[in-house]
Amino acid sequence: MLLDTPICNFGWKAPEFTLADSAGKNYTMSEQLNDKGLLIAFICNHCPYVKAIADRFAGDVKVLQAEGINVLSIMTNDYRFVPEDAPEYMEKFSAKHGFSFPYLVDEDQSVGKAYGAVCTPDFFGFNKDGELQYRGRLDDARMGNSPDRNRELVNAMLQIAENGEGPREQKPSMGCSIKWR
């Protein structure tokens, strides 16, 4: 089922969490939050919307990381319902698309629920104080991989890193519904 993300709730505080990647290494949200902010992306392996943007997203993350912005991605789907989203496939998906950021497993779905994630992909851009400043789309997908495409997520995160505030006008992300238990 296709869903759109809600409008950004500016200033909403990021809930703390610690999650592991598929190899068992733990990452804590507050340890990843730095003076440039933090991007958290709810994604999964099977969603056609995520598959369509995975390479662009990986490239955009490298741009953000070069500017000192940290990125965490979270798979919150019930992978017992969708086996393709299981941790062993997350590693393969990450390698295939050249992810340079942690891809974490939300085993009990508590983080997805705490953040109000509704679809994959669902992007949350936080400033250095852990306040939500962006909840929108990756880019204008109609432009494909064109270097001229409107890089909404990159531009928003660079703005947040610079002045702590995201753009007031944001277009919602859209994708497959989270597969809740």
The domain that contains 151 carries what CATH number? 3.40.30.10
- Domain of residue 170 covers 2-177
Local confidence band at 148 (pLDDT 50, 70, 90 cut-offs): low
pTM value is 0.95
Per the structure, the count of domains in the chain is: 1
Is the separation of the CB atoms in 143 and 57 below 8 Å?
no
- pLDDT (tens digit per residue) in 30-69: 999 999 999 999 999 999 999 999 999 999 999 999 999 9
Q: What's the Cα-to-Cα distance from 13 to each of 20, 29, 91, 127, 131, rounded to whole Å?
A: 22, 12, 30, 10, 5
3-class secondary-structure state, position 92 = helix
Confidence of residue 147 (pLDDT cuts 50, 70, 90): low
**CB neighbours of residue 31 within 10 Å:** 12
Q: Taking residues 76-86, report their average pLDDT.
A: 96
